Amino acid sequence: MIKSKAFVDTTILTNRLIKFRGEKKEAKDALAKYEITELPVYAIKEFKAGPLDYVKYLYNKLLETESIGLTIIALTNNFRQKNKQATSLKLIGELLEEVKLSRTNNSLKAKYGRLADEESISYDSVKLETKLLTYKSWKKRRSVTTTVVQPLSCYQETAPFEEKNGLLSLKPNKCKTDNCCLIEKLREKRFDVTKLKVAIGNLPEALKTKPENVKRQKILREINSKPSIKISDSDCRNLGDAVFALFCPENADILTTNIKDHKPLANALGKTAISPEQVLSQIPEK
């Protein structure tokens, strides 16, 4: 049985705000099954520094290269950031599909004149859609759930803006100080912090050695062993999924698409992590 409250993680916020079709609908439907849905500000911070940054990156590439083809080539050349590459490529495909759908009413042809070639219509509309997506998703971030909880005093929610050269910027997207405000709250939870550290240590080898788990375990260990430790912005980000396990209220489910990473952490603290798919299969559509 699902609980009446959901503690919403970054994957759900992302699917709701910047994904299309199936993923978006599933997130929306799953959220609707809960009486109360809580979004911690930490998820907003993660969303802006990660997924929304990919949308911004795509817009800036489109602006720089002035072409969809060259943007795709530039993205595939970006080998060092596989995640960003895959996400941006998928997004450009989604946006091209969206543009195709909206073109049935021919309004774009009217706007750009009959002589406008297909490629430049697509380029202009994809560029515009990417920019709108950046602004609109940010604007909607606080209305995805019934409430936004757990503000972070070291993080300011600043809207995306256009720089003088037309490029989009998401700054600031980090903690304001070199000692994140989470440290105080984490010190109060030292037993839970230890449980999570142990839980990561007990993961199967393939999961335990994932870079994010190695970093997460290190910072969890240091929180308890170094009394004067400071949490930097990258430590704050590396805590990631652990933050949701630690700060999810007892009477809530962690709602996430990333069950594999969340479940062992949530379970270590006697909490539950559940995916939209699982929520919807428990309560069939009427």
Between 172 and 249, CB nearer to Zn ion: 172
Residue identified by tokens 């190695």 is 214
Question: What is the widest separation between alpha-carbon atoms in the chain?
Answer: 69
Stretch that binds Zn ion, among 66-74, 98-106, 179-187, 196-204 (CB under 5 A): 179-187
Tell me the two tokens of residue 133.
């997506």
Q: CB–CB of 31/144 below 8 Å?
A: yes
User: What residues contact residue 204 under an 8 Å CB cut-off, 6+ apart?
Assistant: none
**Quick one: which of 8, 44, 220, 236 contacts Zn ion (CB under 5 A)?**
236
Tell me the two tokens of residue 99.
């543009």
> How far is residue 236's CA from residue 94's CA, in Å, rounded to a whole number?
31
Does position 223 interact with Zn ion (CB under 5 A)? The reply is no
Between 58 and 236, CB nearer to Zn ion: 236
State the minimum distance, in angstroms, from the CB of residue 265 to Zn ion.
20
Does position 91 interact with Zn ion (CB under 5 A)? The reply is no
Does position 154 interact with Zn ion (CB under 5 A)? The reply is yes
232: helix, coil or strand? coil
Stretch that binds Zn ion, among 129-137, 167-175, 256-264, 277-285 (CB under 5 A): 167-175
Stretch that binds Zn ion, among 7-15, 135-143, 177-185, 256-264 (CB under 5 A): 177-185
**Quick one: which of 8, 75, 148, 180 contacts Zn ion (CB under 5 A)?**
180
Does position 126 interact with Zn ion (CB under 5 A)? The reply is no
Strand order in the sheet with 252-255: 147-149, 36-40, 5-8, 252-255, 272-274
Between 65 and 150, CB nearer to Zn ion: 150
Distance of CA 162 to the CA centre of its chain: 21
Q: Which of 124, 55, 123, 122 is nearest to 90 (CA)?
A: 55
Contact residues toward Zn ion (CB under 5 A) are 154, 175, 180, 236
